[in-house]
Amino acid sequence: MHLSCKAIYGLRILYHVAEATQHGGLARGAKLAVALSMNDSSLEQISGLLRKAGLIKTVRGRNGGYTLGAHPEEITLLRIIEAVDGPLSMLGDVSGEHCTDPAWEVLSETMAAKAGTVTLAKVLAENRPQMNDFVI
């Protein structure tokens, strides 16, 4: 299985937004893009998907930025992946009888169940010193 770069950046965005929120601030777009080595349009595209899923909120204005849309304990890896990439599946977007083997469906369900147990709060607690090196 391969997670998209967008899903990985989605997690990294949420991580940095959560850190800023924990310190009582907002994650500023320009600083966030630099910290994540992203261009502004990619940040806006992925943050738009996260915002649509209710995972982050945008605060407009001169002192605006991003804040979490839910508590870190409520944000799971599964929610992040699905917000950015759609449903988690080992098979991707395929059709046909030869691609619907029940074993692959069980594996997809098992992975989704596990990803649904790992929260942003857990990632924050376990990876605080080096998020830029965080690998899923």
- Tell whether 73 is covered by a domain: yes
Distance CA(15)–CA(74), nearest Å, equals 13
- Tell whether 72 is covered by a domain: yes
pTM for the model: 0.80
- Identify any residues that bridge with 58 across adjacent strands, giving them in sequence order: 66
pLDDT tens digit string along 20-66?
888 888 999 888 999 999 998 999 999 999 999 999 999 988 888 99
Mean pLDDT computed over 73-83: 94
* Secondary element (H or E) of residue 58: strand 56-59
- Cβ atoms < 10 Å from Cβ of 32: 21
- Tell whether 135 is covered by a domain: no
- Tell whether 136 is covered by a domain: no
- Tell whether 49 is covered by a domain: yes
Of the chain, the percentage scoring pLDDT greater than 70 comes to 82
User: Can you give the pLDDT at residue 128?
Assistant: 61
Mean pLDDT of the chain: 84
Helices (H), the chain: 5-22, 29-35, 40-52, 77-85, 102-115, 120-127
The domain total for the chain is 1
- Tell whether 25 is covered by a domain: yes
- Tell whether 85 is covered by a domain: yes
- 79: domain range? 5-129
- Tell whether 134 is covered by a domain: no
Residue 100 has pLDDT above 80, yes or no: no
CATH number at residue 75: 1.10.10.10
pLDDT band, residue 97 (cuts 50/70/90): low
Distance CA(114)–CA(3), nearest Å, equals 15
